[in-house]
Amino acid sequence: MIEKIISIENKLAFLIQERTRLEFERDRLLAEELKVLADAYVRKLWQAGLSVHQGIEAIKPYKKINPPAGRQRDS
């Protein structure tokens, strides 16, 4: 019986560690995705003869709009 409890505790510890690793990887990938999107946005602004400041001002109203369900990532 004690061996079974130890086995379950070991599995639980592994799963907790794996969850932490996966959350870290998810956050890393989201940061990478955001950087790619920001780089593309800045290039488009510059191609249009606009500044980054103008682009930031243009997207501020979107902060009040909720994204489609399941896509919200920040608060």
pLDDT (tens digit, 9 = 90+) per residue, 63-72?
888 877 766 5
Short-list 34, 36, 25, CA closest to 74: 34
Q: pLDDT digit string (tens) for 12-37? A: 999 999 999 999 999 999 999 999 99
Q: What is the distance between the alpha carbons of residues 40 and 55, in angstroms, rounded to a whole number?
A: 12
pLDDT at 75: 46
Whole-structure pTM value: 0.66
What is the distance between the alpha carbons of residues 16 and 24, in angstroms, rounded to a whole number? 12
pLDDT tens sequence across 46-59: 999 999 999 999 99
Q: Is the pLDDT of residue 74 over 70?
A: no
